[in-house]
């Protein structure tokens, strides 16, 4: 029997056996049935164990892209699942025999009502995914190791939660033993030795620490590696080895290249962050020492994951920031850059937390903010901002712009309430179905409170909804304000009629809409609208979140959800045609920023930092970056000092993107920033490639 099918059957039988057991016990037993059964053996050339699963049909985990119960070959629906998950596409796979597909059909029918997603959907008409993610405390992991974590759990009061945590830790150690045996069988003594070490004590070398992190992340996040401040966790060990002559910088770079490669081979290509730097690290000098080989390894690695990122601030080592710019030139896009001086106060306000806790912000997944190891990220739904504005406009009889905007505010609060209610439903249903034992080990304050993550264990139960198309919505409102209510050139109904026709027969009106100044050109009239819109959405979300019981509920503008949302949306009042992409993140609509890079930055700088995360895509020519490097650095120094929140910089040579579309085989290493994540340009669909091509090249 196919081992993937066998594991699915075994897992299901264990689930049935413990179906009525306490949640932590059922989960721990299912976890044991999952690992190491799903894992791929070590290879002779590997520097680390931790290559992921052979494939999965049913499993227990945080979040993973998987077919929903509605998924059929004729109607493919994708979504996120957390908790108990099942691949509902499995029975259609030609890779399995007729007998295996028959067995999978039986499993399909059972899990149709037993997945965590199915149980949530039984209580709502919403069919968005129900997953979540978190960022482990790597510093605690490395300092304590498996033995220290076991001691912490052993000191807890007796109960099912404690028993479940101990069983999960034993499973993790069993995985290390499994990988150790695999390494020995292929003669990989280096990996075997490091595995033996982390079984018995906290890591003492960089290799051991990296190995521990890989194992723990794999067994908590599967394909979603979320690595928060590895420089803090690893800086002391690396500096000690470096100063004692036990490890050279070159050897550290080699280890990190191997570490990155493991993540690249198995990680989900749109997530997997590796975020270093930031204010208020406990060991800034040693942490900075580690950042240097980490950036040099990224310059050699040149892959789409891990998404290496740097949090910098006034007083951050300028040589490291210069190295970061050099690395961007080498990779084309990494590292992404975050400005702590602006973001930390914004997070404190948006999340209603202390400055001390705000410094723990982490741009997870596509860049939406969470509080690392203090709050989960519930990844379930997006907010279509242009559609919201369009709905308000069509339902309004406004005679003034203020009346129109009031209608937008009403629609905004209505949608915020619905999103908050759904997010809270997901939390409640997760808590009824799962303990998330692996995640609870390094999430504050689960062990201290003796409670699972969603059962009041986590310090802050908050969520962030990803919104898409702010720029289009704001540009549309600006156009209506000017042409309908100020100049009175058109009526609101004439605008709606033109939109319904996708501007066919309304070419003059269409041109007038397009000619109203757009966000990204340092036009205060337009820029003020996007600032107000996002601010009001954040206020509406916070109010809705508080009403359902969240500590915080924020709104981000981070990822390329606007691509597929735009595909499903008709024409909009900014002059955008039907089925065209929305603007991505906190950036202008592709190609409308015609006043230069400084003007674009000035527009972006007006954004209120009290939000749930923002990304700004900036496409620079390699010629500008290399020949005008002094000007480049001066420009960005001013941007950061003026409160710039973030920058996704893509560096390409003029003509490369066009050439790559014609001869993709010649440009396999051309990486571009999509929104909150990056991809090889040649791997993108034609629709996305053309949208990136439209972005202004500065």
DSSP 304: S
Q: Do 398 and 263 share a structural domain?
A: no
Peptide bond just before 331 cis, omega within 30 deg: no
Q: Which of 11-15, 209-213, 250-254, 330-334 has the lowest mean pLDDT?
A: 330-334
Q: Do 345 and 246 share a structural domain?
A: yes
Does any domain span residue 623? no
Q: For residue 309, what are the β-bridge partners? A: 275, 336
Average pLDDT, the chain: 94
Query: Which domain-ending residue is among 615, 638, 660?
Result: 615
Q: Do 427 and 350 share a structural domain?
A: no
Query: Which domain-ending residue is among 343, 369, 395?
Result: 369
Per-residue pLDDT band at 78 (split at 50, 70, 90): low
Is a pLDDT exceeding 80 seen at residue 5?
A: yes
111-135 mean pLDDT: 90
Q: For residue 307, what are the β-bridge partners? A: 273
* pLDDT tens digit sequence for 412-441: 999 999 999 999 999 999 999 999 999 999
Based on the structure, what is the number of domains in the chain? 3
Per-residue pLDDT band at 660 (split at 50, 70, 90): confident
Q: What is the pLDDT of residue 65?
A: 67
> Can you give the C-alpha Rg of the chain in angstroms?
25
Per-residue pLDDT band at 564 (split at 50, 70, 90): confident
Q: Do 104 and 54 share a structural domain?
A: yes
Q: What is the pLDDT of residue 599?
A: 95
* pLDDT tens digit sequence for 483-502: 999 999 999 999 999 999 99
Is a pLDDT exceeding 90 seen at residue 62?
A: no
Q: Do 314 and 333 share a structural domain?
A: yes
Does any domain span residue 267? yes
Judge whether 546 and 656 are in contact, CB under 8 Å.
no
Does any domain span residue 633? no
Q: Do 437 and 298 share a structural domain?
A: no
Q: Do 362 and 276 share a structural domain?
A: yes
Is a pLDDT exceeding 80 seen at residue 69?
A: no
Q: What is the pLDDT of residue 563?
A: 84
* pLDDT tens digit sequence for 239-248: 999 999 999 9
Could you give the angle at which helices 629-641 and 597-605 cross, rounded to 10 degrees? Answer: 20
Q: What is the pLDDT of residue 76?
A: 65
556-567 mean pLDDT: 88
Q: What is the pLDDT of residue 686?
A: 85
Higher confidence at residue 616 or residue 77? 616
Q: Do 383 and 365 share a structural domain?
A: no
Q: What is the pLDDT of residue 127?
A: 80
Higher confidence at residue 574 or residue 72? 574
Nearest of 56, 11, 60 to residue 433 by alpha carbon: 60
Query: Which domain-ending residue is among 597, 615, 633?
Result: 615
Inter-CA distances, 597 with 115, 443, 467, 601, Å: 49, 41, 25, 6
Q: Do 532 and 403 share a structural domain?
A: yes
566-583 mean pLDDT: 95
Max avg pLDDT among 51-65, 125-139, 176-190, 623-637 = 176-190
Q: Do 386 and 306 share a structural domain?
A: no
Does any domain span residue 62? yes
**Other residues' Cβ atoms within 10 Å of the Cβ of residue 674:** 25
Reduce the DSSP state of residue 229 to 3 states and report it: coil
Give the up-direction half-sphere exposure of residue 209: CA atoms within 13 A in the CB hemisphere. Answer: 24
Residue 427 tokens, joined: 């939390």
661-690 mean pLDDT: 81
Does any domain span residue 269? yes
Under the phi-then-psi rule, with left for phi > 0, alpha for psi from -120 to 50, and beta for the rest, what region is 55? Answer: left
Does any domain span residue 447? yes
645-668 mean pLDDT: 86
Does any domain span residue 643? no
Residue 182 tokens, joined: 């695999």
Under the phi-then-psi rule, with left for phi > 0, alpha for psi from -120 to 50, and beta for the rest, what region is 367? Answer: left
Q: Do 436 and 356 share a structural domain?
A: no
Host domain of residue 559: 378-615
Q: Do 146 and 80 share a structural domain?
A: no
Q: In the chain, what percentage of residues exceed pLDDT 70? A: 99
pTM tops 0.75: yes
615-637 mean pLDDT: 92
| Residue 527 CB contacts under 8 Å (≥ 6 apart), including other chains | 519, 603, 606
Is a pLDDT exceeding 90 seen at residue 12?
A: yes
In this structure, the chain runs to a length of 698
The answer to whether the Cα torsion of 59, 60, 61, 67 is positive or negative is: positive
Does any domain span residue 609? yes
Dihedral pair phi/psi, residue 431, rounded to 5° = -65, -30
71-80 mean pLDDT: 71
């Amino acid at each position: 029997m196919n081992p993937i099918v066998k594991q699915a059957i075994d897992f299901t039988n264990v689930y049935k056996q413990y179906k009525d057991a306490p949640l932590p016990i059922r989960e721990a037993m299912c976890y044991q049935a999952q690992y190491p059964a799903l894992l791929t053996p070590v290879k002779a050339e590997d520097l680390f164990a931790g290559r992921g699963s052979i494939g999965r049909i049913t499993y227990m985990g945080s979040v993973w892209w998987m077919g929903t119960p509605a998924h059929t070959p004729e109607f493919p629906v994708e979504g996120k699942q957390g908790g108990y998950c099942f691949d509902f596409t499995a029975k259609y796979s030609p890779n399995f025999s007729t007998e295996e597909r028959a067995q999978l059909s039986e499993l399909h029918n059972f899990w149709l009502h037993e997945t965590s997603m199915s149980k949530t959907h039984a209580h709502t008409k919403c069919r968005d995914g129900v997953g979540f993610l978190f960022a482990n405390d790597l510093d605690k992991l490395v300092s304590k190791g498996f033995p220290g974590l076991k001691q912490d759990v052993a000191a807890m009061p007796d109960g099912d939660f404690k028993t479940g945590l101990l069983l999960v830790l034993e499973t993790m150690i069993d995985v290390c033993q499994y990988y150790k045996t695999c390494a020995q069988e292929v003669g990989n003594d280096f990996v075997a030795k490091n595995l033996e070490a982390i079984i018995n004590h906290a890591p003492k070398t960089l290799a051991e620490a990296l190995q521990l992190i890989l194992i723990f992340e794999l067994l908590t996040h599967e394909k979603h590696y979320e690595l928060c401040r590895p420089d803090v966790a690893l800086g002391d060990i690396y500096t000690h080895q470096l100063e004692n002559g036990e490890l050279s910088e070159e050897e550290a770079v080699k280890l990190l290249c191997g570490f990155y490669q493991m993540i690249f081979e198995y990680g989900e290509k749109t997530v997997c962050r590796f975020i270093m730097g930031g204010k208020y690290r406990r060991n800034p000098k040693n942490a900075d020492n580690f950042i240097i080989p980490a950036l040099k390894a990224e310059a050699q690695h040149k892959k789409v994951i891990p998404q290496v990122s740097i949090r910098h601030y006034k007083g951050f080592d300028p040589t490291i920031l210069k190295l970061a710019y050099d690395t961007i030139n080498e990779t084309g896009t990494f590292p992404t850059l975050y400005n702590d001086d602006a973001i930390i106060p914004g997070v404190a306000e948006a999340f209603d937390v202390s400055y001390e806790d705000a410094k723990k912000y982490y741009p997870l997944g596509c860049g939406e903010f969470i509080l690392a190891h203090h709050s989960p990220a519930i990844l379930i739904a997006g907010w279509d901002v242009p559609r919201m504005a369009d709905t308000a406009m069509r339902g309004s009889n406004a005679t003034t712009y203020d009346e129109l905007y009031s209608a937008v505010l009403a629609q905004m609060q209505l949608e915020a309430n619905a999103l908050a209610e759904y997010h809270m439903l997901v939390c409640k249903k997760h808590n009824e179905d799962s303990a998330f034992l692996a995640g609870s080990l390094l999430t504050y304050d689960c062990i201290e409170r003796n409670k699972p993550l969603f059962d009041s264990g986590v310090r802050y139960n908050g969520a962030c909804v990803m919104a898409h198309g702010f720029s289009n919505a704001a540009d549309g409102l600006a156009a209506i304000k000017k042409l309908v209510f100020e100049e009175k050139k058109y009526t609101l109904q004439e605008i709606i009629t033109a939109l319904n026709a996708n501007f066919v027969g309304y070419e003059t009106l269409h041109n007038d809409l397009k000619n109203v100044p757009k966000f990204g050109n340092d036009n205060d009239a337009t820029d003020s609208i996007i600032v107000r819109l996002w601010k009001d959405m954040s206020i509406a979300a916070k109010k809705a979140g508080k009403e359902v019981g969240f500590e915080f509920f924020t709104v981000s503008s981070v990822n390329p959800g606007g691509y597929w949302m735009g595909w499903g949306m008709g024409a909009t009042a900014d002059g955008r045609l039907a089925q065209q992409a929305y603007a991505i993140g906190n950036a202008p609509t592709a190609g409308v920023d015609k006043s230069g890079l400084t003007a674009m930055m000035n527009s972006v700088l007006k954004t209120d930092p009290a939000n749930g995360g923002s990304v700004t895509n900036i496409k620079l020519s390699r010629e500008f970056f290399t020949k005008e490097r002094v000007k480049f650095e001066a420009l960005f120094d001013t941007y950061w000092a003026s409160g710039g929140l973030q920058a996704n910089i893509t560096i390409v040579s003029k003509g490369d993107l066009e050439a790559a579309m014609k001869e993709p085989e010649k440009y396999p290493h051309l990486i571009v920033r999509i929104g909150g994540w990056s991809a090889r340009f040649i791997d993108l669909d034609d629709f996305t490639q053309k949208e990136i091509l439209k972005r202004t090249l500065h």
